[in-house]
Amino acid sequence: MHIRVLGSAAGGGYPQWNCNHPNSRRARAGEPAATQRTQSSIAVSADGVRWLLCNASPDLRQQINDNPVLQPVAAGPLRASPLAAVLLTNADVDHVTGLLTLRESQAFTLYATPRVLEVLAMNSIFNVLNPAFVARRPMPLDSPWQPVASDGALLGLTITAFAVPGKVALWLEDATRPVDIGALTQDTIALEIGGLEPGRRFFYIPACARMTPALAARLQGAALVFFDGTLWVDDEMIQAGVGLKTGQRMGHLSVAGAGGSMALLADLAIQRKVFIHINTTNPILLDDSPERAAVISAGWEVAYDGMQLVL
């Protein structure tokens, strides 16, 4: 199984367009220790030819240009794409707006929970995905299924999608009601992905509001876990003076501290742990920060765009 990180930053990317935080300034200046990152997405392939896109980032066009395996092959038809299917783990802007890049009557299968499909259906701009070519399919939760290309051919992957503590997409929040954070609904989904045969599998969890005993049990002994690395500490955006929200309010468990993901995943015997969906304020973005050194010495890696893993 081939895994490629297309985008490792959280919503907004790194640097974010309006961010003047020192992290963003260093990235914008092209400092080698502050590598720019596009918004959250990975691609997975069993055969290295047909790919499943997990989340469609607003930066998808750039990500395809940066990753030749996602481009039409030279000997192929005049309109073609190795992207055979797209799967959404939530309806956040950083995960769905790349669908608009995938217009132009190209066939692929689109998978999401019924809840996220309903939200797409309510937004007629997504009708740019011609239904004659793009089949929208509800994905089951908690039981394994096999994604197919638009012609029905198996992609050679088995997926178990399951809800993790989260919340509705930011743009779906209702200002007149308290937001239910940490709810186990169809709004925030994690993926366990393996090949067709039982064997090595990995987890992709770009958003998670808290650890639960059930989630810890699932992750126990995994070969590879991509986990929500949005913030270093919960009040980081407040401390930095760039926002009013905590990580908790945004539906993201922070990395550091006794209640953070580094500590909570430490004893789960996971072979490879990678932070992804990293916010522009998070010091682990910087190769030369003490926080980066701390995550590395705790056995974690920090995802970067173009990172390739084989499982």
- Contact residues: Mn ion, CB under 5 A: 11, 92, 94
Q: With beta carbons less than 8 A apart as the criterion, state whether 86 and 108 touch.
A: yes
According to DSSP, residue 27 is labeled H
* Best CA proximity match to 189, nearest among 271, 269, 92, 121: 92
User: Which among 89-97, 115-123, 174-182, 302-310 is the span making contact with ligand MLT, rule CB under 6 A?
Assistant: 89-97
Judged by CB, which is closer to Mn ion: 92, or 305? 92
| List of residues 6+ apart from 222 with CB closer than 8 A | 201, 202, 203, 268, 270, 271
209 binds ligand MLT (CB under 6 A): no
Which residue's CB comes closest to Mn ion?
11
Amino acid at 194: G
Choose among Mn ion, ligand MLT, none what residue 222 binds, the Cβ cut-off being 5 to 8 Å by kind. none
Going through the chain in order, the beta strands assigned E by DSSP cover 2-7, 41-45, 51-54, 83-87, 108-112, 134-138, 157-163, 189-195, 201-205, 224-228, 273-276, 300-302, 308-310
Number of residues counted as binding ligand MLT (CB under 6 A): 9
Q: Which of 1, 10, 27, 209 binds ligand MLT (CB under 6 A)?
A: 10
Gap between the terminal Cα atoms of the chain: 5
Q: What is the CA radius of gyration of the chain?
A: 18
Q: Which two tokens stand for residue 209?
A: 């509001």
116 binds ligand MLT (CB under 6 A): no
Judged by CB, which is closer to Mn ion: 56, or 155? 56
11 binds ligand MLT (CB under 6 A): yes
Q: Across the chain, which distance is largest between two alpha carbons, in Å?
A: 55
98 binds ligand MLT (CB under 6 A): no
Q: Which of 28, 31, 93, 141 binds ligand MLT (CB under 6 A)?
A: 93
Q: Which of 170, 223, 240, 298 binds ligand MLT (CB under 6 A)?
A: 170
Judged by CB, which is closer to Mn ion: 29, or 244? 244
Choose among ligand MLT, Mn ion, none what residue 236 binds, the Cβ cut-off being 5 to 8 Å by kind. none
Which residue's CB comes closest to ligand MLT?
11
* Best CA proximity match to 161, nearest among 205, 110, 118: 205
Judged by CB, which is closer to ligand MLT: 207, or 270? 207
237 binds ligand MLT (CB under 6 A): no
Shortest distance, position 8 Cβ to ligand MLT, whole Å: 13
94 binds ligand MLT (CB under 6 A): yes
Shortest distance, position 139 Cβ to ligand MLT, whole Å: 20
| List of residues 6+ apart from 281 with CB closer than 8 A | 21, 23, 231, 232, 236, 237, 240, 242
Q: Which two tokens stand for residue 115?
A: 């809840």
Give me the residues that bind ligand MLT (CB under 6 A), please.
10-11, 92-94, 170, 207, 250-251
